[in-house]
Structure 1
């Protein structure tokens, strides 16, 4: 599924949607450009995004706001220039009504201008860089996930609560990595013994692990998504460093745990959501997702699932009038849907106001691995850049 314009055969893939020809014959429909990385070592994250959104459509009987829905899956290949080319084609040639998805902040940073300049609404299901949450906020952009800093701030607060005095920081050298550092330090008041940035393509951590061992910190904080996290966790355990508490974000989660398995047991993460959150919406989502796809959903899938429900509520509220952009924007901002996260609303910058959880990796009785919510760390949290947004 790496070519833009290749429509998901949703009726054949888990029976999610009627074939496009049938949908069009029934009347006006809605077309979604779903952006996700489906190539390379980070493809597991994009697969979660895609499958979560499609699961949401399955629960809505293949319709959004009562309109037949069609999805164009766009593989951004984790290459900004590729993402821009494919997204522009989706808007100009394929006439998508909304662009949804995006895992990595560098991809979001590349596509937000061409999307919004075309007067198309963009909903991010994962990436939430500070540059867009603050002064770069835009009326046509919504984050169904979080501001990047917030999740990392959870770990800073958790480290502070645990009484750690000296922490080693390790992240990739791109916007989300820098946001991770800032987010952690916004809540942690102890000593940062070292700050190390690595290339986004790095898979060998032997040099960094030697520095951690030499520094002998009270804990490690790291943000290593996808394949980066798989390798770091394995090598961390193999290096005999598991006695140093492993505090992370997007490093041990349901997208990486199938590859990490026992190497990640007991390691910590932070999230807006976990599979064991006990509310009816989440129980149905997790059970049906696993039945459909055969693996445990991660936050990438949960946020994308919520995005489908969010769009459904908004399109329904405007009576299916997709040309009413002001009405659609107001309806999306109202966020009148049941989230798998429980409490959810948008703030002034159109980023969520929500709870954040400290989670820990566990092994289930069926042998599968998942993160489980340990305690709520931040409640109804407003991201730190909201006050900088001058959107009216």
Structure 2
């Protein structure tokens, strides 16, 4: 309920901002992955969230906000419990996190039923892009799109025979599906591993037997770190790897070392994109976090809160009108670190995807360097299946 005193004052003076209209703080539920199979990625996202919260002064659209950060350890069953608590006890106005697509699929139904806007800071499952699309879900990318770009990169490199590999869960299946959608060569073998797997001796033996020109992997975080180390140790360094950015981001690069140099990967964002919002973000992140470059996970987490901030401002701080909030979010009228983009009919972005190559920057630090735009203003493959009312 609005504060009567402030409402009267604003009516008489027309000088009050959005903050004057909210009696209670806006509440944002953030499901983190600080432990579990995506812990390193969850830590990156947490750092992106916290930088945004600091820059926003713990407000959204000028209104006081509470950011409820809770670790659910990468467990879809626990995220279900967490979401129920956020909805029933905490009465959250927005939800974001977690890292895994399986957890996103578990979190969605209760949030959609309660009309809580869910802004994904990472997963973009195909289900929410197509037949299970929902007005209250906003993706940052659709899983397949990173790999559609990677398939184009593999074609351009002339790799005619490849092995492809990913964990056996919704994102893994999406990522390999996306790669196969654009790759025109032969898939010699398609390998699925366990989520959180750390020993890849059997899979590497399969790869060796297939004698591919190159290998495509989607193995985020610790899975990618362990695989690449074992792959190189097994003497396969001369068989190139191609990956979506999640398997070749800052966490993987610095854990693996020089063996990452030259690895091609694709992403919808990179720290050397030239736009003012991104330059501000990267500079602030490096100052806050001991000079390290932000990963795509940190960038997306930061961007999600900036999107919320713009939407709250556009609705004058009144987040009780959920349809108005959704309409404001759908406009995507804020300075995104990825640059200008728009949402498709399924609330997944139409945006660019880039080729990045792991190299050393001017100071000798290994990082991803943007090389080209692989897909321009690209929409996911599932939008025609979405019948959003």
Q: Same fold (TM over 0.5)?
A: yes
Report what 1:59 is aligned to.
55
Q: Specify the alignment match of 2:346 in structure 1.
A: 349
Contact 1:343 1:355 in 2 (8 A): no
Q: Say whether 1:226 aligns with 2:221.
A: yes
Residue aligned with 1:337, SS: coil
How far apart are 1:57 and its partner, in Å? 2.5
CA deviation vs aligned residue, 1:179-235 (integer Å, no higher than 9, x gap): 111100110111000000011121111111122122111110010011100101111
SS of alignment partner, residue 84 of structure 2: helix
Identify which of 157, 163, 167 aligns with 1:162: 157
Residue 334 in structure 1 maps to residue 327 in structure 2: no
Q: 1:62 offset after TM fit, Å?
A: 2.5
CA distance in 2 between partners of 1:264 and 1:158 (Å): 17
Q: CA deviation at 1:41?
A: 4.6
Matched, 1:137 2:129: no
The aligned runs of 1:4-23 (5 Å cut-off) are none
Look at both structures and tell me which one has the larger radius of gyration over its CA atoms.
2
Q: Which secondary structure state, in structure 2, belongs to the residue aligned with residue 348 of structure 1?
A: coil
Match of 1:174 in 2: 169
* Structure 2 gap ranges (5+): 1-18
Distance 1:235 1:215 in 2: 17
1:9 aligns with: none
Greater Cα shift, 181-190 or 38-47: 38-47
Aligned partner of 1:3 in structure 2 is none
CA distance in 2, matches of 1:128, 1:224: 16
SS in 1 for 2:90: coil
Q: Which residue of 2 aligns with 1:362?
A: 359
Deviation at 1:275, TM superposition (A): 1.1
Partner residue, 1:246:
241
Larger deviation, residues 182-191 vs 276-285: 276-285
**How many matched pairs?**
368
Cα deviation, residue 363, structure 1: 2.7
1:245 touches 1:267 (CA, 8 Å); kept in 2?
yes
Compute the TM-score of the two structures, normalised by the length of structure 2. 0.91
1:272 and 2:268 equivalent?
Answer: yes
Paired with 2:146 and 2:72, the residues of 1 have a C-alpha distance of 24
| Partner of residue 216 from structure 1, selected from 206, 211, 216 | 211
The yes-or-no answer on 1:110 pairing with 2:90 is no
Aligned to 1:316: 313
Aligned to 2:70: 74
What is the SS of the residue equivalent to 1:255?
A: helix
Aligned-residue CA RMSD in angstroms?
1.6
Structure 1 runs of 4+ with >6 Å offset? none
Per the alignment, residue 87 of structure 1 pairs with: 83
Contact 1:357 1:374 in 2 (8 A): yes
Give unpaired runs (5+ residues) of structure 1. Answer: 1-22
